[in-house]
Chain A
């Protein structure tokens, strides 16, 4: 009896191991945690269930920065994953690493036809080389939006979101006069206040078309409309029109909005899901495109979020698996799944049209999310609204944030802070240029 049991166990073991051996395994490291991390895991499970040749194993590495750090460390020990999720601004760092297997090439080599033109230009250009070929697969994509409390607007006799910053200021004033203690929450965000702001205004962040035309670009955001905007923000804070809300002091701007405390907040369309869940039926709210200053011709906004990069040094089978996974993600059904469980938007015309046809955007809770697409595709991309291609931009973001904190605590005026930020950011850029001496952006 016992012998039989052992024999059958062994047989079973042999069977499962041989079945497992047939599958090609490869790793994917991502930089999301919590609810979003779980949903990334869900895309992996769906992929594994959809076929039996490949097995993707997805590992969360904390946030985007940690995922990249861990990948570099693992790469040096030759234990890196096949796919890594890279935040949008790390694009030039990865492009120049020399260790990337460009996505367009990966798909081409594996015989997959991808309609690259179907990707929204505000997304595709962020990850494309100078010939317009995508080096990474756009994945979780969003853009910045203004969230506004419709009920609060009703109380001051308004029913439309402001289209200009002048109008926005007027709304804030009216809300304050009506006794609203927090007309809008505010926390410095380079992504919203500098990057997306400059895009929709068609203002440069750096010379050389925001760095696309060479590593010798210099940031110039202390001399553009951005400087005026930061002065306005500081003035609005001083007048009590904006109230600083950070996680350290209690509620973040998003949570303060969702709790009904503040009537606006600026953030990613990806928060749409979380705000929907938090507000429930509490009050009426909506999203709108970022306002622009009067006299500005609005331009397209660009993608925020991350894309998927394939790294060198893996086997052909693993690359084939990675290509299969990318192909799987590009399906409209995958776009639908991803847009349903998160607030992220589809990245292709195909995926968007599929959702529109199904009536996805016409009803709560997804109503309004298509405004993100409207913002991304508002105009055809111009040389200044392709994205940002500046080395070590993560450090520039940190620099900007730290300088803005100095403004909020009253140590510096906005102009002084921006001048210092530009000065220090340019040093970062020069160092990056020297580190990759002799290399050029693809």
Chain B
């Protein structure tokens, strides 16, 4: 039997967490409950009145093929951008951990991109991706018209995935580096004494020991790419061309704010919320089992 320490005076504990709870209530539960109400009604933009329509908004959303397309698109976006960001971050962290030349600078420098807001990053990438004058325009010297995110949906999707991945690298990098550095040196040294070379040590020692960090970053990155990709899409592609980059979160904005269809957007945001919750649940249920802590 494990003995747990606890406070008798519960009110003190509640007092301490009250400010945090208040913030969560005001900025999450309250708007979410409002959205829940709107999702079952038809809401006039200026608030002139609304009427109960039951599940009609959800029916409209799910019978809309462009909505299903946006779900698949979001999943592809989340999987690819997360995969790209985490693998880049892992490689960089392994390098920094091996104390290659200049690692002191990179250890700090790699964190800077995280401080850049999504729209600012997207604006920078807009120049890089420009098919006529950007860095990517070199692709067009190989074969004219090879790269054109304004016309090709695949190119546009590639562009937002790269940008999202770039933005996420720093965050994953910090955690990977911290994870790597918390692996006892003695383990690595024991490995090398047994004749394991760098690659072998990475694959058989460091990666398995990093599993909890990898799992944590997987959840965070996936969630983030579902909910936080708005700025990138808005600045880089505005969801185009021909909806090729209209992710779920961007569609909510387009329908709700540009189209003034508040109820449809509210229904969509509930679906998005449910999807993220479901995804996180599955990740904990099925992937976490394979993770060994300590």
Contact = CB atoms under 8 A, between A and B. Distances in A.
A409 B242 contact: yes
B60 A394 contact: no
Contacts of A402: 239-240, 242-243
Given A406-B242, A409-B242, A248 B150 contact: yes
B243 A249 contact: no
A67 to B, nearest CB: 12
A93 B48 contact: no
Interface in B203-253: 239-243
Interface string B121-158: 00000000011110000000000000011111100000
Contacts of A395: 255, 258-261
Nearest to A396: B259
Main secondary structure of the interface of A (DSSP, over half): helix
A249 B239 CA distance: 16
A394 B45 CA distance: 14
A117 B257 CA distance: 36
Interface in B91-144: 130-133
A79 to B, nearest CB: 14
B132 A249 contact: yes
Contact of B133 (A250, A408, A427): A250
Contact of B46 (A99, A392, A394): A99
A244 B132 CA distance: 13
A112 interface: no
B266 interface: no
A97 B262 CA distance: 14
B131 A428 contact: no
A320 to B, nearest CB: 23
Interface residues of A, number: 36
Contact of B149 (A68, A248, A250): A248
Contacts, number: 92
Contacts of A377: none
A93 B45 contact: yes
Main secondary structure of the interface of B (DSSP, over half): loop
Interface residues of B, number: 35
Interface in A377-427: 392, 394-395, 398, 401-403, 405-406, 408-409, 411, 424, 427
Contact of A69 (B149, B255, B257): B257
Given A98-B48, A249-B131, A249-B148, A392 B259 contact: yes
B168 to A, nearest CB: 24
Nearest to B246: A402
Given A249-B132, A250-B132, A403-B242, A398 B44 contact: no
A259 to B, nearest CB: 13
A368 to B, nearest CB: 31
Contacts of B153: 409
Contact of B240 (A76, A249, A392, A405): A405
A411 B242 contact: yes
13 contacts: A75-B46, A93-B260, A98-B44, A98-B48, A99-B48, A248-B131, A250-B132, A395-B260, A398-B258, A406-B242, A408-B151, A409-B242, A431-B60
Interface of A: 65, 68-69, 72, 75-76, 93, 96-99, 244, 246, 248-250, 392, 394-395, 398, 401-403, 405-406, 408-409, 411, 424, 427-428, 431, 434-437
Nearest first, the 9 A-B pairs at minimum CB distance are: A395-B259, A248-B150, A406-B242, A97-B46, A405-B242, A250-B132, A405-B241, A98-B48, A435-B42
